[in-house]
Amino acid sequence: MAERSIRVAVVDDHPVFRLGMAGLLGSLDGIEVVAQAEDAARALERIDATVDVVLMDLHLGDDSGIETTRDLVRALPDLAVLVITMDEDDESVVAAMRAGARGYLLKSASPAEVERGIRAVANGEAILGPQVAARAMATLTSGRTAVRVPFPELSDREREVLDLLARGYDNATIARRMVLSPKTVRNHVSNVLTKLGVPDRAQAMIKARDEGLGGDGSGQ
């Protein structure tokens, strides 16, 4: 009896890339493309429990692939999400994996790397593309020591927002760097101000910098 094909959905707002990826995957043995979506709403509508793996871009027009990943994994815990994006910064990798992605590839990945990534996450493994893995290893072997976590009352995501706020970034820039929607960033900033007991961003920035957040505060 033949083994069932891996059923894949491709979520990307660029039709040329999405259709090209669907064509590539459809040519591979044991992989079947069963859904495509260009934004969060269609992804949530078209992806169900029959899908094994989602190839997810992080930028879906006005939507965030991070939030879409989180929503899909929350609704379908057995779903494997493999991010494929142009973003190779550490913040995007961490945000994607925290949202529930099992793998992270760059769009420069070869067809063989994409196929290997799909088969790996479908098998329950985690996988990082070569460039992403190299950056992760560099971080792990850089000799950094553990430090006290400032503002333990904040969630990790809220602390990341506060750090960027302390650098002088506005909400639009924070949203872009964290691959979140502006509305989500506004909500996080509001929560941070409430938890820190400060009236505005300026006071939050002062408190954050007193605790060592914000880097050099070079802003935009």
Write down which residue in 138, 170, 190 finishes a domain: 138
46 shares its domain with 77: yes
Residue 121: both structure tokens together: 């996450």
Residue 147 is assigned to a structural domain of this protein: no
State the residue for tokens 């793996």: 53
Q: Mark whether 132 and 69 lie in a shared domain.
A: yes
Percent of the chain with pLDDT over 90: 59
CB neighbour burial string for 106-128, b if at least 16 within 10 angstroms, e if fewer: bbebeeebbbbbbbbbbeeeebb
| Cross-strand partners of 59 | 64
Contact 153, 195 (CB under 8 A): yes
Say how many Å lie between the first and final Cα of the chain, rounded: 59
Instruction: Reply yes or no on whether the pLDDT at 218 is more than 60.
Output: no
Domain count, the chain: 2
Does residue 217 have a pLDDT over 60? no
pLDDT band at 1 (very low <50, low <70, confident <90, very high): very low
Q: Does residue 27 lie within any of the structural domains?
A: yes
Residue 145 lies in a domain: no
Domain assignment present for 215:
no
Identify whether residues 163 and 109 lie together within a single domain.
no
Residue 121 has a pLDDT of 95
With 80 as the cut, is the pLDDT of residue 112 above it? yes
Are residues 120 and 133 in contact, defined by beta-carbon separation less than 8 angstroms? no
pLDDT in tens, 206-215: 999 988 888 7
**Alpha-carbon distance 118 to 107, whole Å?**
14
Has this prediction a pTM greater than 0.85?
no
Which tens digit of pLDDT belongs to each residue from 125-136? 989 887 777 766
Indicate if 98 and 182 belong to the same structural domain. Answer: no
Assess whether 89 and 171 both reside in one domain. no
Contact assessment for residue 54 and residue 82, using Cβ atoms and an 8 Å cutoff: yes
Task: Write out the two tokens for 163.
Answer: 């750090």
Same domain, 48 and 125: yes
Name the residue range of residue 17's domain: 6-138
In a domain, 105, yes or no: yes
Domain boundary among 109, 138, 167: 138
pLDDT of 147 strictly over 60? no
Helix ranges (H only) for 141-200 are 156-166, 171-178, 182-196
Residue 1 lies in a domain: no
Write the CATH number for 167.
1.10.10.10
Q: Calculate mean pLDDT across residues 112-117.
A: 94
For the chain, what is the total number of helices (H) and then of strands (E)?
10, 8
Give the pLDDT confidence score for residue 77 in this predicted structure: 93
Q: Comparing 59-63, 87-91, 188-192, which segment has the lowest mean pLDDT?
A: 87-91
Per-residue confidence (pLDDT) for residue 140, from 0 to 100: 57
Do 120 and 184 belong together in one domain? no
Question: Is 19 within the bounds of a domain?
Answer: yes
The verdict on 201 and 130 lying in the same domain is no
How confident is the prediction for the chain on average, in pLDDT?
87
68 and 21 in one domain? yes
* Whole-number Å distance between alpha carbons of 22 and 185: 32
Q: Does residue 188 fall inside a structural domain?
A: yes
Asked whether residue 55 falls in the same domain as residue 124, the answer is yes
Residue 103 shares a structural domain with residue 199:
no
CATH code (residue 90): 3.40.50.2300
DSSP state at residue 102:
S
**Contact criterion met (CB below 8 Å) for 188 and 160:** no
Q: What is the DSSP letter of 149?
A: P
Q: Which residue has the tokens 């985690």?
A: 126
pLDDT at residue 152 above 80?
Answer: no
Model confidence over 6-65: pLDDT tens digits? 999 999 999 999 999 999 999 999 999 999 999 999 999 999 999 999 999 998 888 889
Please give the distance of CA 168 from its chain centroid, rounded to a whole number.
Answer: 23
Q: Per-residue pLDDT averaged across 171-176, rounded?
A: 92
